[in-house]
Amino acid sequence: MNDRQPMDLGAYEERARRGPCFVCAFLDGNPDYKHLVVFEDADHVAFLDRWPTLPGKVLVAPKRHIEHAVSGFTDDEYVSIMLVVRKVALAVEKVFAPERTYLLSLGAQDGNAHVHWHIAGLPHGVPYEEQQFHALMSENGVLDVSPTEAESIAAHLRAALS
């Protein structure tokens, strides 16, 4: 696994709570919210996490600004996004062959309100005490992924999705 680096949690919180919706800003082309897209269709987008805690961590979001992970969707919309989450998760599994694949929706009304799912593959050999929530928490550092490595990861995921 890549080396972890500390994350400036204060700056992250300020950005999440005071800045624009990160998904909407990204979709509007705001250069401060650029992400590498791995999948996109008319209603959904999947992109590499800017601050990954596990290799190849991907976020999946609806393009429409929705703030509630269950009640914000019609039945058909919910099934549709969950099929995208599964499709992307299968690509993560194909590319990274993780021991386990974590799927979760995080966010809060106070910051990162646009609903999104995290897809994170746990590499083999991670000690138990560093798995699960510990592996996902940016408080424990984020991976040091170069732009070249991120582009390569995105390309491998796009290939697995095609």
Number of neighbouring beta carbons within 10 Å of residue 58: 27
pLDDT over 90 at 156, yes or no: yes
Domain range list for the chain: 4-70+86-108+124-161
Q: What is the pTM assigned to this prediction? A: 0.94
Cβ pair 72, 66 in contact under 8 A? yes
pLDDT number for residue 129? 95
pLDDT in tens, 67-119: 999 999 999 999 999 999 999 999 999 999 999 999 999 888 888 899 999 99
Q: Dihedral sign, CA of 24, 27, 30, 36? A: positive
pLDDT number for residue 2? 57
Amino acid sitting at position 114 = H
Alpha-carbon gap, residue 90 to 94, rounded angstroms: 6
Calculate the average pLDDT of the chain.
94
Architecture of domain 4-70+86-108+124-161: 2-Layer Sandwich (3.30)
pLDDT number for residue 4? 86
